[in-house]
Amino acid sequence: MRGRPFLASRRSLLGLALLAGAALLGACRESLDSGGVCSASSPLCPGQGVEIRDTIINPVLAFDSTYDGFPGRGAEYFLPLVSRGDTLQTVVVVRYDSLSTFYLPALDTARSITYVDSARIRLMIDLARASIPDSVNIDIYDVDAGTADDTAAAPILARLKPQYRIGGGKYAKAQLIDSLYVSLKDSAVLAHVRDTLPVTKGRMRIAIRVTGKGPVAFRIGSVESSAAAYLWYRPSNDTSARALVIAPASAGPADRADVRRDLMDYMLVEKNTLPTLPGTMMLGGVPGRRVYLRFNLPKNITDSTTIIRATLRLTQARYPFGDPSDSVIIHPHIVLASQFITDNRRASTLIGVTGLVITDSLAVVPRDSGQRTLELYALVRQWAAQSASPNAPARAVVLTAANEGTFPRVAAFYSSSASAGLRPTMRITYIPKIGFGVP
């Protein structure tokens, strides 16, 4: 047999080509990371050559403002029932402006209601962070002053008197679980059902008020949280007739559907004598306060460097009132309002949700004092990224208390008008734009 040189055969050439192809394909997949031999002490990787600078901006605020009344009337997800003796008292107002005046007996036609039995309201109770003594008095008042559009608080508060009390009772702490039925006077409900006056026909408006031996604070559900206080009554002594369940509703004002919705149920502060601390920004409490902070940061740092940290440093002032030993959770929010919105109270409502851009939060105890910090680097980076935008948001942050407007706890921080050692400052850690990377 006549042999051919090994490399001259087609088969051997094909094998060689396959080997070369396999090697090439294997090498196409790059693996460049040699960090396995790097460490802080490794002489091969002694450092990055990046300079990190640190500076404190003081003062960091152009101004600060505290606004109260949050959340707005009727916007509460949970309605606070608070009683702290001489210092703080709230009531919850619920409107039932669509009372049923007829009922349907079984297998019969509709009949006018002439009898009411077992009238009561159902409260959905939220016990989170509640403070409840051994027993609680819950009083229900008829606060319908008979006016057409009584959006003012004074006429309602004026009716929180014994003669207008139409229900309630004393409840042990153990009875306050997730829901509670509070009895009403059947005659009072019947009077509203049978009311024929043009203004007050078919409506009932109540105020719920709590008191107790010691501070009381808990929340009940609202229309906003789909856990509103429903009115319940039997329209007949015929036990086969179904009980009527009336949801909160507001008939006025006629020209404002949004306000009507707000007025279905809402909270009113009957009394609040908790002091304010001058020279401070106060957060939380009832009604809720929030703080608007407008920053004044040097653009040569924020816009031309890489921010690693931007720590807002606040000095907490001791506030020994309310629930001084309970904690207040504080959330910073980005302001979505543009810099052209000059109404800062309005701007303080145009904010991002909790956790948007800023993920840090604070938990403080009102009676404590000292420096507290909030990390805002992501926001400062965002401001830098937006600096060229003609409609950039204001360089501002709004601080709110968790469960805003539902607990009496207040946190106070020294404002920008305080002395240099107490006012808010910001510590910024950044990498300047330098020529790193040159061997």
Partner 1 sequence: MRMTSRVCVTVGAGSTLLAALLATPVSPAAAQGSLSMQGFGYPIGGQSARSQGSGSALAGIDPQTPLNPASIVLNGRLQAYGQYEPEFRTVTIGGNSTKTTTSRFPLFMVTGHQNKATVALSFSSLMDRTWINTYADTQSLGSERIASTVLTQSVGGIADARLAVAWTFTEYFHVGGAVHLYPGDNKVSVGRIFSDSVHAGNFDVTNAYTFAGSALSLGAVYVVAKAHLILSGDLRLGGQLAMRLGDSTKVGEGKIPFRAGMSASYDGISGSVFSVRIGTERWSDLRGLGSSSLGLKDAVDMAIGTEIAGPRISNTPVLFRAGYRTRGLPFTYGATAVTESSIGGGIGVPFIGGRTILDVGASRATRNVPGISEKSWLVSVGIGIRP
What residues line the site for partner 1 (CB under 8 A)? 5-8, 13, 16, 20, 23-24, 27-40, 42-52, 54, 304, 306-309, 311, 359-360, 375, 377-378, 381, 427, 429, 431-439
As measured in angstroms, the least distance from the Cβ of 21 to partner 1 is 10
As measured in angstroms, the least distance from the Cβ of 327 to partner 1 is 20
As measured in angstroms, the least distance from the Cβ of 49 to partner 1 is 4
Closest Cα to residue 141, out of 194, 90, 62, 206? 206
Residue 347's φ and ψ, nearest 5 degrees, are -60, -30
Q: Which is nearer to partner 1, 251 or 308 (CB)?
A: 308
As measured in angstroms, the least distance from the Cβ of 339 to partner 1 is 22
Q: Which is nearer to partner 1, 58 or 311 (CB)?
A: 311
Q: Which is nearer to partner 1, 140 or 310 (CB)?
A: 310
DSSP 3-state of 344: helix
As measured in angstroms, the least distance from the Cβ of 15 to partner 1 is 12
Q: b vs e for 46-78, b when ≥16 Cβ sit within 10 Å of the residue's Cβ? A: eeeeeeeeeeebebbbeebbbbbebbebbebbb
As measured in angstroms, the least distance from the Cβ of 329 to partner 1 is 17
Q: Which is nearer to partner 1, 22 or 257 (CB)?
A: 22
As measured in angstroms, the least distance from the Cβ of 294 to partner 1 is 22
Q: Tell me the C-alpha distance between 292 and 398, whole Å.
A: 5
As measured in angstroms, the least distance from the Cβ of 40 to partner 1 is 5
DSSP 362-391: EEE-TT--EEEEEE-HHHHHHHHHHTT-TT
Q: Which is nearer to partner 1, 51 or 108 (CB)?
A: 51
- Per-residue DSSP letter, 178: S
Q: b vs e for 320-357, b when ≥16 Cβ sit within 10 Å of the residue's Cβ? A: ebbbeeebbbbbbbbbbbebeeeebeebbbbbbeeeeb
As measured in angstroms, the least distance from the Cβ of 3 to partner 1 is 11
Name the amino acid, one letter, at 1.
Answer: M
Q: Which is nearer to partner 1, 18 or 128 (CB)?
A: 18
How many Å is the Cα radius of gyration of the chain? 33
Q: Which is nearer to partner 1, 27 or 174 (CB)?
A: 27
Strand (E) or helix (H) holding 262: helix 257-262
Q: Tell me the C-alpha distance between 43 and 38, whole Å.
A: 8
Is the Cα torsion angle 169, 172, 176, 180 positive or negative in sign? negative
DSSP 297-338: --HHHHTTEEEEEEEEEEEEEP--SSSTTS-EEEEEEEB-SB
Q: Tell me the C-alpha distance between 380 and 301, whole Å.
A: 10
Q: Which is nearer to partner 1, 390 or 435 (CB)?
A: 435
Q: Which is nearer to partner 1, 305 or 369 (CB)?
A: 305
